[in-house]
Amino acid sequence: MSHNSDEKLVYMANQIATAFAQQKHDAAVVATRTHIAKFWDPRMRAKITAHAAAGGAGLSPIAKEAVDGLPPVKAA
């Protein structure tokens, strides 16, 4: 994995989505979204949100749906 941050964040989001993938689809999406909201700092969330908005290349379906529903990041 490169340290190029978009690619890394996509990888991380997919890892989280995979961990919850055994749950029913909607539950997995919510769990992934909650996890990201709870543990990712605002600049990471802003980046992944922008990436998803730009098509979300590489994001798994659960991860994509989770990120799309993240609440907007407030300014510091």
Partner 1 sequence: MSLISDIDYGTPVSKSEKLVTLTIDGMQVSVPEGTSIMRAAMEVGNKIPKLCATDMLDAFGSCRLCLVEIEGRNGTPASCTTPVADGIVVKTQTERLKQLRKGVMELYISDHPLDCLTCSANGDCELQEMAGVVGLRDVRYGYEGENHTHLGKDESNPYFTYEKSKCIVCNRCVRACEEVQGTFALTISGRGFDSRVSPGMNEPFLTSECVSCGACVQSCPTATLNEKSMVEIGTPEHAVVTTCAYCGVGCAFKAEMRGDELVRMVPYKDGKANRGHSCVKGRFAYGYATHQDRILKPMIRSSISEPWQEVTYEEAIQYAASEFKRIQEKYGKRAVGGITSSRCTNEETYLVQKLIRGGFGNNNVDTCARVCHSPTGYGLSQTYGTSAGTQDFDSVEQSDVVLIIGANPTDGHPVFGSRLKKRLREGAKLIVVDPRRTDIVRSPHIEAAFHLALKPGTNVAIVTALAHVIVTEGLVNEAFVRERCDWEDFQEWAAFVADERHSPEAVEKYTKVPAELVRGAARLYATGGNGAIYYGLGVTEHSQGSTTVMAIANLAMATGNIGREGVGVNPLRGQNNVQGSCDMGSFPHELPGYRHISDDATRAAFEAMWGVHLDDEPGLRIPNMFDAAVEGTYKGMYVQGEDILQSDPDTKHVSAGLAALECLVVQDLFLNETANYAHVFLPGCTFLEKDGTFTNAERRIQRVRKVMAPKNGYADWEVTQMLANALGFKMDYAHPGAIMDEIAALTPSFTGVSYAKLDELGSVQWPCNEKAPTGTPVMHIGGFVRGKGKFMLTEYVPTDEKTGPRFPLLLTTGRILSQYNVGAQTRRTANVAWHPEDVLEIHPSDAENRGIHEGDYVKLESRSGSTSLKAVISERVAPGVVYTTFHHPVTQANVVTTDFSDWATNCPEYKVTAVQVSRSNGPTPWQEEYEDLSRKSRRIAAEAAE
Binding site for partner 1 (CB under 8 A): 1, 3, 5, 8, 12, 15-16, 18-19, 21-23, 35, 38-44, 74, 76
CA distance 43 to 71: 13
Query: What is the distance, to the nearest Å, from the Cα of residue 53 to the centroid of all Cα atoms in its chain?
Result: 12
Do the beta carbons of residue 35 and residue 16 sit within 8 Å?
A: yes
Q: How far is the CB of 28 from partner 1 (least distance, A)?
A: 10
Residue 62 CB neighbours (<10 A): 24
Minimum CB distance to partner 1, residue 67 (Å): 15
Instruction: Decide whether 4 or 54 has the Cβ nearer to partner 1.
Output: 4
* 17/52 with CB nearer partner 1: 17
